[in-house]
Structure 1
Amino acid sequence: MSKFYVSFGQIHAHRIGTVTFDCDSLLELEANSMAEVRAKVFESQIKDKFFTIYDEDNVDFNYFPRGAISAII
């Protein structure tokens, strides 16, 4: 399994449990493929309210000051 990171736009904020995800943070998920991540996100309470999905090789944490946060969705 690989790590993937879901980002949220300027107007998308989501609360999962006690954690808020917004434009300054990334949701970290483990999956076998980007398609699997996309399916998990669409099936969750997030639905289509996210910006993009990055894989481990293409994420730049400098743009996300709150960093990556793991959560079960």
Structure 2
Amino acid sequence: MIIPKKNKKKRYEGLKGKLIHLDPGTYEILELSAKLKGWNLKQLIEYLCKEQALIEANEIRQLKSDKEQY
């Protein structure tokens, strides 16, 4: 009888769309930060992405308002 091999899920599967290649040290820092907040890694990444998006949106809004003043 042949037993099929189980597919091992990669550690960060499901985060591929949100992460560009990061070195292992960065992953460790993110994991520790998530543990300190009581979140899982995916929740922390999503939170950080939202925060960065807000920062960039505010910068764009500021640039547009500066251009309109001139």
Q: Which has the higher contact order (CA 8 A, sep 6+)?
A: 1
Larger % of helix: which?
2
Which protein has the bigger strand share?
1
